[in-house]
Amino acid sequence: MGRKRPGRAKRPTRLGAALVAALTAAVCLGSAHVLAGDGSGGDLTAAQQALAQAQLQALQARDHVAEASTQLADARAELAQAQAQLAAMKARIVSLDAEVSSDQAEVTALQGQIAQDKQRLAAFVRASYESEGSQTTVEYLVDAQSISNLVARINEVDHVATAGNLLVNQISAEQTREQHLLGAALAARSQEQAAEQQAATQEVVIANDEASDAVLLANDQVAASQAEQAVSSAQTEYDLISEYDTEYADAAEALALARADGTIFSPIPGPVFTEDTDLTLPSGENAQTIDDFLAGTDLAGLGSAYMQAEASYGVSARYLVAHSIEESGWGTSAIAQQKHNLFGYGADDSNPFGDAMSFLSFTACILYVAQEVKQDYLTPGGAYYHGPTLRGMNVDYASDPFWASQIAAIARTVPLPS
């Protein structure tokens, strides 16, 4: 009556693998997202691998759902079959109960008939053997008036004896037959009742399997949904990195051409700070507004230094605040803390800390960098002049072609006096 379920023990492992794969894909995506921005092809390759992995896991998860659905359907069909068999057994038991009742009634009736036959036979025997038993029969024969009458009386006596024997035999046979039928019916009912009890137990076993299969299917559906979400995230991440790499390559190529051609980027006036804002014009800031903005950070209290740099060298204080925040992490970087260098000035990719210049104070750094930037990057004829804008500075100041847009985005968040 047992029901084997091949593969059940491995199902939790399979589900765990799907979940782990989804998490792995998410980690890969996160790593690719963090690394994005250096313009290397490795980010796109990592995203492509993460996408392929997520797609594979999603396919496996869909297969698991299909398998679990089939298994659940099989369990339900088996349960329905077991329930039908149990119902048939119950109907059979009802029929056997009726048969047993009928047989018992026949046995009871036969026992009554047997009792009557026994009474008639006893009466016959008493009548035959009264008055000295068998002599009565002899006298009956002797009293015959003729040979023919004697023969008739002999036949009559033989008939009575034969009838008595037949009656006795019939009574015995009927009793034996009815007892046999009743015993067979009782045995059949007992056997059917045992089968019914086993079938009821098996119904519970199959119902438990069905419930387990339903849980596994639900878990597989969750895993499949997570895998599909991982695929969607991986595809989105891949598309973003691919687009970023394309834009990065185009921007880097444009900077290289500008560097080679000596392109000058003219400023574009407007109310919003952009890559094309003229950095040599007054920013509209004041020391108090900057101090309020930087309160609670390692740059706190430097509002007057930024405004002094703007007044002395004609470099936008708003730009200087944004640049120092970006390069120093709000003044918390090792170069800022140990060398008072808020701009990473002098640092290069090969040895950033070692090559970065040291200053006596944050104020000294701000003033020095403002002077150098104005002289080399924002003044016509300067060594790296390509226009008095962030776009122009980006040509030679930073290898990242998106540096200008990043500084401009930060500068837009620096508040102006109300």
Q: What is the pLDDT of residues 247-306, one digit of tens each?
A: 878 877 878 788 788 889 999 999 999 999 999 999 999 999 999 999 999 999 999 999
Rounded Cα–Cα distance for residues 36 and 51 (Å): 16
pLDDT of residue 34: 38
Residue range 62-80: average pLDDT?
81
Taking the model in full, what pTM does it have?
0.51
Token digits for 255?
A: 């900077």
Angle at 353 between CA 35 and CA 287, to 5 degrees: 90
Residue 115 has pLDDT above 80, yes or no: no
Distances from the Cα of 246 to the Cα of 40, 237, 241, 257, angstroms: 11, 14, 8, 16
Highest mean pLDDT among 118-122, 149-153, 414-418: 414-418
Provide CATH code, domain 262-411.
1.10.530.10
Nearest of 63, 85, 51, 49 to residue 17 by alpha carbon = 63
73 residue type, one letter: A
Q: What residue spans define the domains of the chain? A: 8-251, 262-411
pLDDT of residue 35: 38
pLDDT band at 125 (very low <50, low <70, confident <90, very high): low
pLDDT of residue 32: 41
pLDDT of residue 139: 65
pLDDT band at 164 (very low <50, low <70, confident <90, very high): low
Write 398-407 long-range contacts (CB < 8 A, 24+). Answer: 399/349, 400/37, 400/38, 400/39, 401/39, 401/248, 401/251, 401/252, 401/254, 401/255, 402/37, 402/248, 402/251, 404/275, 405/275, 406/326, 407/319, 407/322, 407/323, 407/326
* 360 vs 52, higher pLDDT: 360
Residue 4 has pLDDT above 50, yes or no: no
